[in-house]
Amino acid sequence: MPAQSLSLNSNKPILSWANHDLGARETQMAKNVASLPFVYKHVALMSDVHLGKGALVGSVIATQDAIIPAAVGVDIGCGMCAIQTPYSSHQLEGKLKKIRKEIEATIPVGFDANKNIDKAVYNWQGWHSFKELHKGVQHLEGKALKQMGSLGGGNHFIEVCIDTEDNVWLMLHSGSRNIGNMLAQNHIRTAKDLAKLAHQKLPDPDLSAFVAGTDAFQQYWHDLQWAQDYARFNRDVMMSRFKKILELHLGGGKPFKPKLAVNCHHNYAERESHFGEEVYVTRKGAVRARTTDYGIIPGSMGAKSFIVKGRGNHESYCSCSHGAGRLMSRTKAKHTFTLDDLIEQTDGIECRKDAGILDEIPAAYKPIEEVMANQNDLVEVVATLRQVVCVKG
């Protein structure tokens, strides 16, 4: 659908693909961002937009000569990875539980880390510049090494899926783990301290920004790019292990070349050209969707997911949603639903069915079909997937 220009009396226009009225808190958060003097042209809200910290999750913010670390968020480079395999659904029959158990034994989830470090992890080029990162993380190199190739918790997941053409897909969702979190927290703290020293009047302290050309900006930009690379490679390491599990169970151990592979961030910032100018684009819960970009838009653990290709819509800064978006908070979901509800809503899916993942129950998320319908001018659907195995962090 075409974007709606929201009548919010903000300094810069706010364009929305959400096709619904924002609540009072969401409205104020959008206005806060649009009031900042360095925001470029307009703020774009994706179809899955919901409350965040400082800025809305599902927002795209283009800025000139400044960047807001809290808008990027604490899971720098969080994103999705998916590959299309040569296998068909009938090859999975009777093997789903074994596959899930092996995934859980091979890829650490939650707070767990790897006991043994893969050779590929040691060879990652990012370790050469670790000593150039913020001094507040210098003691974390060993932990960062052990967490490379681990999933994390919250809404991170690993899934075996089947598309409408009966192809088996492997898909996962993860970010930059503790090292990205610690980098972000250190820089957010610095940005807030600098704003206080300068006596800046901000609508929200979480909108404290670094100004281009300053040492603080340069250090953040360096660390941001490092953490984004870490997150992307982290997904590659997990996908490599995941792929070997399927090759063993479905292909007799014979390696295969993916028919299509996608690896995309949805919490990150990059320097890009829009409307003829170079700007910094922060996608907080949004995926880049140029005409050359493939992306992944997952639903909940009981709903469809989509492999998409961008349409290059410039009003959205060539972006699309990063998922269904939460309908209710984790706390509210735990108080609203029961374990029986979870079991019912994940019927037919090989996954954990315990109170530990009740906050990830499908009904806590927006209907993915509506989210997709509201952004058909941003992406085209390449494949529609449903999960048959889901491992949660």
Backbone torsions φ then ψ of 231, nearest 5 degrees? -65, -45
201 Cβ contact list (under 8 Å, min separation 6): none
pLDDT grade for 7, boundaries at 50, 70 and 90: confident
Tens-digit pLDDT profile for residues 121-145: 999 999 999 999 999 999 999 999 9
List % helix, strand, coil for the chain (3-state, nearest 5).
Answer: 40, 30, 35
Q: How far apart are CA 116 and CA 150, in angstroms?
A: 12
Contacts of 174 (CB under 8 A, 6+ apart): 78, 79, 81, 150, 151, 152, 156, 231, 234, 235, 238, 393
pLDDT digits (tens, 9 = 90+) for 52-104: 999 999 999 999 999 999 999 999 999 999 999 999 999 999 999 999 999 99
| 316 is an annotated ligand-binding site residue | no
**For residue 20, pLDDT beyond 80:** no
Does residue 66 contact residue 209 with C-beta atoms inside 8 Å? yes
State yes or no: 75 annotated in a binding site.
Answer: yes
Q: Is 11 annotated as a binding residue?
A: no
Measured over the CA atoms of residue 67, residue 69, residue 71 and residue 75, the dihedral's sign is positive
Report whether 373 contacts 299 (CB < 8 A): no
Q: Is the pLDDT of residue 289 over 80?
A: yes
* Block residue for tokens 């994103």: 79
* Cβ 264 vs Cβ 295: under 8 Å: yes
**Cα–Cα separations (whole angstroms), residue 97 to 93, 104, 238, 299, 388:** 10, 11, 19, 22, 10
Beta bridge partners of 391: 158
pLDDT of res. 236: 98
Mean pLDDT of 194-223: 97
Mean pLDDT of 366-383: 95
208 in a known ligand binding site: no
Residues contacting 48, CB < 8 A, separation 6+:
18, 57, 58, 285, 321, 322, 323, 324, 325, 366, 371
Which residue type is seen at 55?
Answer: A
Query: What's the confidence (pLDDT) of residue 344?
Result: 93
Kindly report the backbone phi and psi dihedral angles of residue 262, in degrees, each rounded to the nearest multiple of 5, phi listed first.
Answer: -130, 135
**If you search the block for the tokens 């140029």, which residue do you land on?**
290
Residue range 319-339: mean pLDDT, rounded: 92
Does 173 belong to an annotated binding site? Answer: yes
Residue 302 is predicted with a pLDDT of 87
Query: In what helix (H) or strand (E) does residue 32 lie, and over which residues does it extend?
Result: helix 24-34
Span 231-255, pLDDT tens digits: 999 999 999 999 999 999 999 999 9
Structural domains in the chain, CATH included, are 4-327+365-392 (3.90.1860.10)
Residue 1 has pLDDT above 80, yes or no: no
- What mean pLDDT do residues 221-240 have? 98
Tokens for 3, please give them: 């974007």
Averaged pLDDT of the chain: 96
Q: Is 349 annotated as a binding residue?
A: no
Given this model, what pLDDT does residue 152 score? 96
pTM: 0.96
Between 34-48, 243-257, 346-360, 372-386, the lowest mean confidence (pLDDT) is in 346-360
Please report the pLDDT score of residue 290 as a whole number: 98
> Average pLDDT, stretch 354-362?
90
Q: Which residues are catalytic?
A: 322
301 is in an annotated binding site: yes
Q: What's the pLDDT at 328?
A: 86
Q: Is 136 annotated as a binding residue?
A: no
Going by pLDDT thresholds of 50, 70 and 90, the confidence category of residue 165 is very high
The three-class DSSP label of residue 25 is: helix
Q: Which residues contact 276 (CB under 8 A, 6 or more apart)?
A: none
Residue 266 is labelled as binding a ligand: yes
Per-residue pLDDT band for 326 (boundaries 50, 70, 90) equals: confident
Has 50 been labeled as part of a binding site? no
What is the Cα–Cα distance from 159 to 144, expressed in whole angstroms? 24
Is residue 37 part of an annotated ligand binding site?
no
Split at pLDDT 50, 70, 90, the class of 21 is confident
